[in-house]
């Protein structure tokens, strides 16, 4: 990952949301799901000899990407760069910004940038309020700078923010004005995720594997007859694992809805 010396975070844990310290008596995060863990948790008693461990790892990778699409959450750390428009209503609300990706771990850079990529003004990190970053919301609160020029570099004028105000004095809206670089992810530790996220990914992978395996059962019943001796067997055929699949899907949807609500990803809200 890139190194940003002035990155700013709030210092809380990624999960549980807004947790500052957690007891070691209950483990809430663990390493990413592996093929062995997938088999022991979700495929007990299932004959999956047709799948090799690398193929199971591939199913986990596909399920992880599917989880990110369904939840709009980033499993591993990703650095995003996003363009934000200037909106006078948002500007008057302490430069309210609602970013597209999350959960946000740190704000790495916030600048006013021209359309040709030229940096016009770099906003001091001390101005950036990240207490609501877990909701993908950030604000600019330059109160400390107003009273004591806190957060400004040595030799920088205490009224350097005036260019920020003058530049937008005659506009109500500009389609692209700020550039925000930030790091998102579900854990502060690389390679770890909340256990509940592993659970959803595991159920997603298991649903796909069981759906593929049950297509190998072509017949609901079979019989063998020889010299007047008959043996017959019946089963559910192509629906062999359907009850298990439906149970996993129902549980996954419940957990996914609750997880999205926990990370404030269930509804999209803006100032408009």
101-151: pLDDT as tens digits = 988 999 999 998 888 988 888 888 888 999 988 889 999 887 654 555 444
Question: Whole-prediction pTM value?
Answer: 0.81
State the average pLDDT over residues 56-78: 94
Contacts with 206 (C-beta within 8 Å, 6 or more apart), sequence order: 38, 42, 43, 248
Query: Please, which pLDDT band fits residue 263 given cuts at 50, 70 and 90?
Result: confident
Question: The tokens 């949301």 sit on which residue?
Answer: 17
Exposure of 95 in the CB half-sphere (CA atoms within 13 A):
24
Q: State both tokens at 118.
A: 């030229």
| pLDDT given at position 270 | 61
28, 16 contact by CB (below 8 A): yes
Q: In a 3-state reduction of DSSP, which class is residue 121?
A: strand
- In the chain, the largest separation of any two C-alpha atoms, in whole Å, equals 103
Residue of higher predicted confidence among 221 and 252: 252
Residue of higher predicted confidence among 8 and 229: 8
151, 126 contact by CB (below 8 A): yes
| pLDDT given at position 191 | 86
Strand 192-194 to 29-31 pairing? antiparallel
State the average pLDDT over residues 166-172: 66
| pLDDT given at position 69 | 93
Through-space distance between the first and last CA atoms of the chain, rounded to whole angstroms: 34
Handedness of CA 35, 41, 43, 49 (dihedral sign): positive
Q: State both tokens at 237.
A: 């055929």
């Amino acid at each position: 990952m890139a190194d940003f010396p002035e990155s700013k975070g709030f210092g809380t844990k990624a999960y549980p949301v807004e947790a500052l310290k957690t007891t070691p008596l209950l483990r809430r995060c663990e390493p990413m799901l592996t093929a062995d863990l997938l088999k022991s948790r979700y495929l007990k008693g299932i004959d999956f000899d047709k799948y090799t461990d690398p193929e199971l790892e591939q199913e986990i990778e596909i399920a992880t990407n599917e989880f990110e699409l369904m939840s709009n959450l980033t499993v591993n750390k990703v650095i995003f760069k996003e363009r934000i428009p200037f909106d006078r209503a948002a500007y008057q609300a302490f430069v309210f910004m609602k970013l597209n990706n999350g959960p946000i771990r740190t704000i790495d850079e916030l600048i006013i940038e021209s359309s040709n990529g030229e940096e016009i003004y770099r906003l001091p990190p001390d101005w950036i309020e990240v207490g609501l970053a877990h909701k993908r919301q950030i604000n600019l609160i330059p109160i400390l700078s107003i009273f004591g020029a806190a957060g400004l570099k040595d030799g920088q004028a205490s009224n350097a923010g005036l260019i920020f105000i003058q530049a937008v004095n005659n506009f109500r809206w500009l389609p692209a004005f700020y550039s925000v670089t930030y790091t998102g992810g579900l854990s502060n530790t690389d390679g770890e995720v909340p256990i509940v996220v592993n659970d959803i990914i595991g159920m997603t992978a298991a649903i796909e594997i069981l759906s593929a395996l049950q297509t190998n059962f072509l017949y609901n019943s079979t019989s063998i007859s020889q010299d007047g001796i008959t043996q017959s067997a019946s089963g559910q055929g192509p629906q062999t694992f359907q009850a298990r699949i439906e149970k996993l899907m129902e549980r996954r949807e419940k957990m996914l809805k609750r997880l999205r609500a926990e990370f404030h990803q269930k509804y999209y809200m803006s100032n408009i």
